[in-house]
């Protein structure tokens, strides 16, 4: 005797067909959807006029030059220029929260030259830098600190105390140290503007070239 599917079989078959159709549609959508682009690594350069690009045309600051050099090496990175001309370490500390916003992946600190030029007590400079590193650590921000050196005319005692700030703090907080931001540039009239303090475009290029190996190793440790 010939039999026919009951109502239960018809309902099951209908549901199965719908599930199969939905699964097929989902596969098509996923196949056609563009792959999500990874976000560029965002690195804030917290500094003074040496970072800001004092006396240079737009787009030629240290932050701009470093970003260009890193991109040429294949890094997908954005260097945010948080340099303020004339800023002391205390000034950088006071604006830390808004200069280093949420979404920052890593931090470069270049501060202290103005403290030295004004003859601030090195203990005062060290205390403010330590607070900056404390805040970065609290936010789990990998940090590179660029050192500064005291001018010889300030005397050997001041020079010894000031120059020790950066390696001491780097060791204490376990951050990456670039010993002297102006390495190869300080005192060279061909690489500095007429004021003798701020690098020319060529001076900035020299700074970036010297720092690149350290920055490259630093960024290799940064996870988004």
CB–CB of 107/43 below 8 Å? yes
Measured distance CA(150)–CA(159) in Å, rounded: 5
Catalytic-residue membership of 76: no
CA distances from 194 to 5, 50, 111, 133, 187 (A): 95, 15, 22, 34, 11
Measured CA angle at 154 (ends 150, 160), to 5 deg: 55
State the catalytic residue, choosing from 115, 128, 163, 198: 198
> φ, ψ for residue 6 (rounded to 5)?
-75, 175
- Our answer to whether residue 121 is catalytic in this structure is no
Instruction: Pick the catalytic residue from 49, 61, 99, 128.
Output: 49
Q: Is 140 a catalytic residue?
A: no
Q: Which DSSP string do the residues of 206-217 spell out, in sequence order?
A: HHHHHHHHHHHH
Residues 114 and 79: their CA atoms lie apart, in Å, by 22
d(CA 132, CA 110): 11
Could you list the active site residues? 49, 195, 198
């Amino acid at each position: 005797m010939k039999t026919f599917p009951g109502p239960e079989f018809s309902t099951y078959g209908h549901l199965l067909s719908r599930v199969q159709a939905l699964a097929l549609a989902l596969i098509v959508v996923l196949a056609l959807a563009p792959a999500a682009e990874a976000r560029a690594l965002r690195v804030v350069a917290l500094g003074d006029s040496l970072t800001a690009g004092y006396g240079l045309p737009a787009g030629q600051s240290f932050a701009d030059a470093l970003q260009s050099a890193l991109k040429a090496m294949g890094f997908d990175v954005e260097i945010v220029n948080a340099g303020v001309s004339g800023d002391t370490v205390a000034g950088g500390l006071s604006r830390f929260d808004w200069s280093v916003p949420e979404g920052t992946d890593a931090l470069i600190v270049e501060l202290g030259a103005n403290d030295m030029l004004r003859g601030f007590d090195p203990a005062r400079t060290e205390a403010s830098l330590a607070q900056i590193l404390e805040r970065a650590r609290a936010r789990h921000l990998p940090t590179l600190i660029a050192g500064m050196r005291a001018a010889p005319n300030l005397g050997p005692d001041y020079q010894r105390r000031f120059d020790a700030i950066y390696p001491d703090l780097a060791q204490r907080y376990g951050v990456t140290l670039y010993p002297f931001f102006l390495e190869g540039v300080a005192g060279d009239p061909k690489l500095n503007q007429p004021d003798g303090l701020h690098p020319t475009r060529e001076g900035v290029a020299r700074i970036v070239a010297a720092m690149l190996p350290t920055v490259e190793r630093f960024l290799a440790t940064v996870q988004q």
